Chain A
Amino acid sequence: MISISGLLGQAFAILLALVLAPLLSGWVGQCRAWLQSRTAPPLLLPYYQLQKLFHKDVVLAHGASSLFRAAPFVVFGCMVLACAIIPSLSTDLPLAPAADALALVGVFGLARIFISLAAMDVGTSFGSLGGRREMLVGFLAEPALLMVIFTLAMIAQSTSVATIVETLAHRELVIYPSLAFAGIAFTFVSFAENARVPVDNPATHLELTMIHEAMILEYSGRHLALIEWAASLKLYAYSCLGLALFFPWGIAPGDNFLALVAAIPLLLLKLAIGGAFLAGIETINAKMRIFRAPEFLGTAFMLAVLGLLVRLLLESRV
């Protein structure tokens, strides 16, 4: 049963994601600059960049196939879908039955495959290097993310993101040690997935270290704009997912209009704190060698498995 308010809430959530995602990236960049005592770029910088890129012409490499041209739209579409099914404001999302938490991981995986293939499509050495590295990070991060989701799904007895968030938001105050393990593992995974500092530096073009930037070197104009927008949407999606799963308080239950309105400032506050936290972590950590990334993500996987085991041992008894 799809209600009008549900549809409106869903549309509003997507719109909010599209608008807020570049702002979140700008806010993280600003916090990073402050923490490193540099002059901060303007908060709206990502918007200016998107505007600039959308007005530029697209330059395509000679060997580029249609895959190369389609990939930005696929990636952007995946990220919008991800933002649509993650309950950021309300758990009453008509689109939520389209994909549960496991399919959400699949949506992220689809975007990753397309962007890696597009990077290899033109045949430059940087592109295929970046694509391979992205797949390396991705195939290590995905099982860890799945383990985190299994832990949460066992608590909520469901793999639907909306149901998990509803269960977690309206439980009695119980300490779940498994949630702590899962939370740390999720943080590790989101750093790796979003190309943040311990694994990748979003602000570098140094060939030895870059992963994400190496893949999108060949893109220009509106394609690049879509990919940049998709990257900030991914950061937004992961932030909202983390906040919804581990700090679910304030997310509106069902189609309650007042609660939905109240959820907006709370979400903004949580995103602001989360972004500052991200910038802080990025500042105090050095980027690790690419060959240390498996160890980093192995630790995340281990923590997630421990969370699952602890859940089974300590919390399953009646």
Chain B
Amino acid sequence: MSASIPFSAQLINLFAAVILLLAFAMLAQRRLPQLINLFALQGGALCLATLVAAVTTGQVHLYYSAGLTLALKVLLLPWILHRLVRQLKVKGEVEALINIPTTMLVGIVLVMVAFNVALPISELSHTITRGTLGIALAVVMLAFLMMITRQKAITQVVGFLSMENGLFLAATSATYGMPMVVELGIALDVLIGVIILGVFFFQIRDQFDSLDIRHMERLKDN
């Protein structure tokens, strides 16, 4: 039975499950500010999972990456996104291309696929956190789904960031994190990416009076 799993691994599993739950909550969320808050919460759960892994294994660089997650994904990025939402005066509900219950059902199928794909891979790994690899893959796929089914540019950016959370979890669970240089590089990329996309939002809105990316399909016609 599962009693043989050490307590720290149980904690990490719990946080991974919370991350998965939040990924679904983001998929179901209709309002943009709440969506950003959920993203911040997901970052928080990721930070805690990394922290537990760091304490258990004593790997110093995991402490750094937990701190990086806290600073970037819990504090800085949500703050930037909230400011963008305020400045762009995005109103109303997030418009989904498919209705939300259907999206959830598709999400469940994705989770099943992810779990099945990850199971043989995680057998090869020897980390205490290997069980969460399936969850990490599922989070990546759910974030993909969110990017595909949403129309507004900001929601797609939140989906992109959530996908990065999933990748981070995958890296932690499979190999106790990526090398520090890679991790720093990705963190910086994400930060710069969001700032640049923020500028893009203003450009898109100035051009089309809307953040709906369907308008960009007509670029060629003009």
In the bound complex, how far is the Cα of B16 from the Cα of A175, in angstroms?
A: 13
From A302, A314, A315, A316, contact of B108 by CB (8 A): A302
| One of B20-28, B163-171, B200-208 contacting the partner | B20-28
Interface flags for A166-181 (1: CB within 8 Å of B; 0: not) read 0000011011111011
**CB-defined contacts of B14 to chain A, threshold 8 Å:** 175, 177, 180
A170 to chain B, nearest CB (A): 12
B139 to chain A, nearest CB (A): 12
Q: Enumerate the 5 nearest inter-chain pairs by beta-carbon distance, A residue then B residue, closest first.
A: A177-B17, A315-B2, A175-B10, A298-B101, A314-B13
**CB-defined contacts of B132 to chain A, threshold 8 Å:** 314
Interface flags for A142-155 (1: CB within 8 Å of B; 0: not) read 00000000000000
Interface residues on B, range: 20 to 34
Closest residue to A305 on the B side, CB-wise? Answer: B108
**How many pairs, one residue from A and one from B, have CB atoms within 8 Å of each other in the complex?**
72
Q: Are B3 and A309 in contact (CB under 8 A)?
A: no
Closest residue to A157 on the B side, CB-wise? Answer: B1
**CB-defined contacts of A175 to chain B, threshold 8 Å:** 7, 10-11, 13-14
Known: A309-B111, A313-B115. A180 touches B104 (CB 8 A): no
Closest residue to B123 on the A side, CB-wise? Answer: A317
A154 to chain B, nearest CB (A): 11
Counting CB contacts under 8 A, is A299 at the interface? Answer: yes
**CB-defined contacts of A180 to chain B, threshold 8 Å:** 14, 17
In the bound complex, how far is the Cα of B103 from the Cα of A302, in angstroms?
A: 11
B115-158 at interface with A (beta carbon < 8 Å): 115, 118-119, 131-132, 134-135
Counting CB contacts under 8 A, is B100 at the interface? Answer: yes
Counting CB contacts under 8 A, is A312 at the interface? Answer: yes
A254-269 at interface with B (beta carbon < 8 Å): none
B14 to chain A, nearest CB (A): 5
From B5, B21, B105, contact of A306 by CB (8 A): B21
Q: Are A306 and B104 in contact (CB under 8 A)?
A: no
Counting CB contacts under 8 A, is B112 at the interface? Answer: yes
Q: Are A299 and B2 in contact (CB under 8 A)?
A: no
Q: Are A313 and B104 in contact (CB under 8 A)?
A: no
Counting CB contacts under 8 A, is A221 at the interface? Answer: no
Q: Are A177 and B3 in contact (CB under 8 A)?
A: no
Counting CB contacts under 8 A, is A294 at the interface? Answer: yes
In the bound complex, how far is the Cα of B2 from the Cα of A172, in angstroms?
A: 10
Q: Are B108 and A310 in contact (CB under 8 A)?
A: no
Q: Are A294 and B101 in contact (CB under 8 A)?
A: yes
A151 to chain B, nearest CB (A): 13
A271-311 at interface with B (beta carbon < 8 Å): 294-295, 298-299, 302-303, 305-306, 309-310
Q: Are B3 and A313 in contact (CB under 8 A)?
A: no
Known: A314-B17, A318-B1. A302 touches B135 (CB 8 A): no
**CB-defined contacts of B105 to chain A, threshold 8 Å:** 298, 302
Known: A310-B17, A313-B131. A172 touches B104 (CB 8 A): no
From B2, B24, B111, contact of A174 by CB (8 A): B2
Q: Are A295 and B24 in contact (CB under 8 A)?
A: no
In the bound complex, how far is the Cα of B5 from the Cα of A178, in angstroms?
A: 15
**CB-defined contacts of A171 to chain B, threshold 8 Å:** 3
In the bound complex, how far is the Cα of B89 from the Cα of A8, in angstroms?
A: 68
In the bound complex, how far is the Cα of B108 from the Cα of A305, in angstroms?
A: 8
In the bound complex, how far is the Cα of B115 from the Cα of A39, in angstroms?
A: 53
**CB-defined contacts of B11 to chain A, threshold 8 Å:** 175
In the bound complex, how far is the Cα of B9 from the Cα of A176, in angstroms?
A: 11
**CB-defined contacts of B119 to chain A, threshold 8 Å:** 313
Q: Are A310 and B20 in contact (CB under 8 A)?
A: yes
Among B4, B17, B108, max chain A CB count under 10 A is at B17
Q: Are A317 and B135 in contact (CB under 8 A)?
A: no
Q: Are B21 and A302 in contact (CB under 8 A)?
A: no
**CB-defined contacts of B2 to chain A, threshold 8 Å:** 174, 176, 314-317
In the bound complex, how far is the Cα of B119 from the Cα of A316, in angstroms?
A: 11
In the bound complex, how far is the Cα of B105 from the Cα of A294, in angstroms?
A: 13
**CB-defined contacts of B13 to chain A, threshold 8 Å:** 175, 177, 314-315
Closest residue to A318 on the B side, CB-wise? Answer: B4
In the bound complex, how far is the Cα of B100 from the Cα of A147, in angstroms?
A: 21
**CB-defined contacts of B17 to chain A, threshold 8 Å:** 177-178, 180-181, 310, 314
In the bound complex, how far is the Cα of B25 from the Cα of A303, in angstroms?
A: 10
